[in-house]
Chain A
Amino acid sequence: MDLDDYRIDKEPYYRALGNEVALFEAAFTARMPMMLKGPTGSGKTRFIEYMAWKLNKPLLTVSCHEDMTASDLVGRFLLDAQGTVWNDGPLTLAVRHGGICYLDEIVEARQDTTVVIHSLTDERRILPLEKKNEVIKAHPDFYVVISYNPGYQSVLKDLKESTKQRFGAIDFNYPPADLEAEIVAHESGVDDKVAALLVKIAGRSRNLKGHGLDEGASTRMLVHAGQLVSRGIPLGEACQVALVLPITDDPDMRDALTSAIAACA
């Protein structure tokens, strides 16, 4: 079985902010597992898609959640007419056939779930399937990338120290204003002036991070707002729909944001 369905055919749009592409390529060559850190909507997922396309490797994405068990990653026995049959999980697929396994928002998964990747992320590069009494040696193309949002970090949700220290890391943040405007303009089709204004508005909301908002408006949100504007919605309304209303339910914060947006234009 090959993983052709998991390959990305078309080049995804990605605007490099620094030398992260070169860094990632080097890390991939060394098969050093990577973690992508950064707030939501800052381009982590887009980046990994771009890299998978560039390296021409299949990409298996797993969105982690609290209820996830190790079986959801590794695979499980299922029942069929003859009895039990083993079904590889996404991690095992990538290990067997060679591909990038991308564990999105890994801190959402319970800590004891994530330890299954330990044996894959050091020089052993093996995956023991204790239920099957099998040890899989990883395919040379197998590679693990995880992503997480440090904003969620708390005493309750954090990576184990032993997990953390197996990874190299690339920090993602919102791009500098001019680059971000370029991205917004490209993705949403608005002109440069509107894009710059949207980025300025995003700056206001990012100032409120930790002072009433858990997170400022992401680049993704700006693209949304821009898409509405380019379809004829007035800027103020577009910002309400794409930015203010989704980001908070707190009437005080909504008021402050709306007033601040009004001050920008």
Chain B
Amino acid sequence: MKTTQSAKFLKVVSPDGEGDEERLLTPAARRAFPDDLAARWLRACRKLAQAGYGEAIVTSYVRNSPAIAEILGPEIAIEMADPVSAITIKAKRKAGALLPWAALKAAERLKNEQLFRSWLGVIERFAALAPESVAPVLEKMDTLLAELNVSRLEAWVLAGVRSGGGDKARRLRFFTFADPQAKLWLQRESGGVVFTDMERRLKAYLTALWRLRIPIREPSPGAGEQSRRRVSFDRGLILLPPTFPGYRGLQAEEVFRASLAHVAAHFMYSREKFPLRSLKPLQVALVSLIEDARVEHLAMRDFPGLRRLWLPFHIAQASGASTAPSLLARLSRALIDPGFEDADGWVRKGRERFFAREDEWENPQISREIGGLLGNDLGQMRVQFNPRTYVVEPPYHDDNMGLWDFNDPDSENFEEAELLFESVRFEQQQEDDTSSPDRERKSEGEADEVNRAALSREAYQEEGIPVARYPEYDYVTGRERGEWTTIVEYQPKPGPAGLIERILEDRHDTVNRITALIRSARVGRAERLKRQAEGELLDIDACIEAVVSRKIGVTPDPHVYATMGRRHRDLSVLVLLDISESTKDKVLGEMATVLDLERQATALLAHAMDGLGDPFAIAAFCSNRREEVRYYRIKDFAEPYDAMARSSLAGLEGGLSTRIGAVIRHAGVDLAGQSTHRRLLLIVTDGEPSDVDVTDKKYLVEDARKAVNSLAGAGIDTFCVGLDSGGDSYLTRIFGRQNVVQIDRLERLPERLPMLYFRLTS
């Protein structure tokens, strides 16, 4: 927008600027607002201008409303000035300026005045609930409406508002799609079956059939979620597309299941990877195809019912052009579907060759032989094969990447074959480009957002905020030195939240035990409390004893009643992790560092605490002299244990020293605010208290002891898990013999810590 032009607009619609209607009423506007409607529209424009929202809003309205009028009629286009005002007031100018533009997009998509009005209603309600997020949502309106109708859009918006709670920053993360949940909800609202909904049952399915426990992941966002429409696998990992577009409901569930059963068949029967050698792309495709059929037949020997699962996806027809993709799809079907008749000589030959060697199906080499021969035949038939556009059919088959060894030094046609696999991605990236016309603008906006977020985070991290000063106890003088240490709170650096899920997955045995324990600890089953002074039942044992006592002339015990009662859990816990420099050390005989093990243990513990519903908080600490005792809040009592907390836990890094007393006091203040009956501070530390400005070892030990004592005075229990086998002396000095557990074999910490917790709190 050129400034001169906009200045003229402003002038035209300025409060007293009657008369310059010619400039405002462009031919398009005249066409959209004929006769006396033009005057009403001009009044609407002036009203916006008079309100003083700034030129951007007026300009946007003036430019977009005629086009909206063309689609939906002039009335609604004129009335729209009111919502523009309302949104500008509630959600700031940027949103107000975007609204007419987004409204045009909506009008183009909805093409119906009634729907458009309800769309406006959704946006107005949204502005009332989450004003800060209106602008980013409006920016994406076209793509959103491409996938959602108005009521589903509202559902998605509400999901975002709810998932953010009252927290603006979190809502903004959702609506800018920085939070992966946003995408997930979008897919859910658009009616597709999403992998994450199916994940558990799919994993269980593989385990049930073959005892396979292979991690299943979605392709990383970097790979472009849309760009992978086929399942892919490699040693020890399955990559599954988040959705199979075009399949809905039950069918979508079946295609996931079919894909996994197919890949699992590869895992069970494909064993060695094929060396690429001098194979041409067509031969690679054919060998893969035969191998697919071979493993499927072997799998069907064990589980005949799999044929019913796979067959419906083979929809190739026997007629049609003899192009390579068609022939390959037909051969695929001919190999699995006994009822399929194909007159094509090549397809029949392929089927005959394959079934002639039924006895040798156990041997993967036959796939190479048969595939090679069929490739030669096809070559002689002069059928063109374009590796760039070839996509494996049917859709539940994998992309075959996992079958081939690309590191084979003998591979001559490496690049060419690579092309075959590249082609899948290449093709779909093109699709991507066309599917989002706003791509450019959107990514610009997003990049901006991301940069800003990153900047603010870094600034926060660099500085930290001093939040409190605490005294320190000097055992030499026997007195506390006031305001001696400063607690500086840092925002934990976010790490990959998936790491925590992976930890839980890797240690599923422990997780299972924890889950069982949670169940028994949590239900709070009613139990019979015997020998009570009062109650609704007679305790028969006590009664009999009372009678016996009376007979032998002893005073009977009056506790002869029984009652039913529940034991309630009423405790809150703060877990404090030592992340000083020494936690960076590798644990003997393990790849993991002490901190890694602390993280694993905390992940399992948090899983347990979350399951029990005990209020809990997690924090980490290290120190750099008394002026800077660092305190990282990973999760507060009031916060849910969600992706943010997990990501903070995943991002912990070790460094600096261990000034433990100050941290104990600080954590104590947090815990004192909890109103539960029991309050527990659980400290995990790997070494003696130390700091660079302290030379006297005993000094910090005595100070910590003092801090623990004062917490005990406030009714807070402190318990320490020591990771230093030689730490007996000072840890028992600080916490008392009863309140220390030494973990001598560090690698067992992750399973020990949650169990310890159960014992401490049962």
Q: Which residues of A contact B (CB under 8 A)?
A: 66-67, 69, 71, 76-79, 83-84, 154-156, 204-205, 207-208, 210-212, 214, 251-253, 255-257, 259-265
Contact = CB atoms under 8 A, between A and B. Distances in A.
Contacts of B303: 263-264
Interface in B545-560: 547-548, 551
A263 B213 CA distance: 18
B305 A265 contact: yes
Interface string B292-316: 0000000000011110110000000
Contacts of A207: 207-211
Contacts of B762: 156
10 contacts: A67-B527, A83-B551, A84-B548, A156-B520, A207-B209, A208-B204, A212-B207, A256-B208, A260-B205, A263-B305
B533 interface: no
Interface of B: 200-205, 207-211, 213, 257, 261, 303-306, 308-309, 508-509, 512-513, 516-517, 520-521, 527-528, 541, 543-544, 547-548, 551, 755, 758-759, 762
A263 B548 CA distance: 67
Contacts of A156: 517, 520-521, 758, 762
Given A155-B517, A214-B516, A259-B257, A84 B204 contact: no
A110 to B, nearest CB: 11
Contacts of B205: 255-256, 259-260
Contact of B528 (A67, A212, A262, A263): A67
Contacts of B543: 79
Given A69-B541, A262-B308, A210 B201 contact: no
Contacts of A76: 541, 544
A31 to B, nearest CB: 32
Given A76-B541, A79-B544, A211 B209 contact: no
B201 A204 contact: no
Contacts of B541: 69, 71, 76
Identify whether the interface residues of B are mostly helix, strand, loop, or mixed.
Answer: helix
Given A67-B528, A69-B541, A210-B508, A204 B551 contact: no
Nearest to A201: B208
A154 B201 contact: no
B759 A204 contact: no
Nearest to A262: B305
B451 to A, nearest CB: 40
A67 B762 CA distance: 18
A212 B200 contact: yes
Contact of B551 (A69, A84, A262): A84
A208 B206 CA distance: 9
Given A155-B755, A211-B508, A77 B548 contact: yes
B544 A78 contact: yes
Contacts of B517: 154-156
Q: Which of B204, B305, B309, B547 has the most CB of A within 10 A?
A: B204
Nearest to A155: B755
B548 A257 contact: no
Contacts, number: 97
B261 A263 contact: yes
Nearest to A212: B204
Contacts of B308: 262
Contacts of A260: 205, 208-209
Contacts of A214: 516
Contacts of A256: 201-205, 207-208
A265 B208 contact: no
Contacts of B211: 207
Contacts of A257: 204, 208
B232 to A, nearest CB: 22
A97 to B, nearest CB: 24
Contacts of B528: 67
A27 B412 CA distance: 70
Contact of A155 (B200, B202, B548, B759): B759
Contacts of B513: 154
A156 B520 CA distance: 9
Given A84-B544, A210-B509, A212-B200, A204 B208 contact: yes
A25 B32 CA distance: 101
B734 to A, nearest CB: 27
Nearest to A255: B201
A77 B544 CA distance: 7
A260 B207 CA distance: 9
B314 to A, nearest CB: 17
A262 B304 contact: no
A252 B304 contact: no
Given A253-B201, A264-B305, A208 B207 contact: yes
A167 to B, nearest CB: 24
Given A211-B213, A262-B309, 12 more contacts: A66-B527, A67-B528, A84-B547, A204-B209, A207-B210, A210-B509, A210-B512, A211-B203, A252-B200, A255-B204, A256-B202, A260-B208
Contacts of A71: 541
A256 B303 CA distance: 15
B309 A252 contact: no
Contacts of B208: 204-205, 207-208, 256-257, 259-260
Q: Which of A78, A214, A255, A260 has the most CB of B within 10 A?
A: A260
A263 B209 contact: yes
B194 to A, nearest CB: 14
A211 B207 contact: yes
A83 B546 CA distance: 12
Contacts of A264: 303-305
Contact of A265 (B304, B544, B758): B304
Nearest to A78: B544
Nearest to A151: B516
Contacts of A262: 305, 308-309
A211 B201 CA distance: 11
A105 B517 CA distance: 18
Q: Which of A83, A256, A261 has the most CB of B within 10 A?
A: A256
A76 B210 CA distance: 54
A253 B211 CA distance: 14
A197 B211 CA distance: 18
Nearest to A152: B516
Nearest to A157: B520
Given A84-B551, A263-B309, A265-B304, A211 B204 contact: yes
Nearest to A71: B541
Nearest to B308: A262
Nearest to A156: B520
A9 to B, nearest CB: 35
Nearest to B758: A155
A160 to B, nearest CB: 16
B661 to A, nearest CB: 32
B204 A252 contact: yes
A221 to B, nearest CB: 15
Contacts of A210: 508-509, 512
Q: Which of A78, A211, A264 has the most CB of B within 10 A?
A: A211
B457 to A, nearest CB: 36
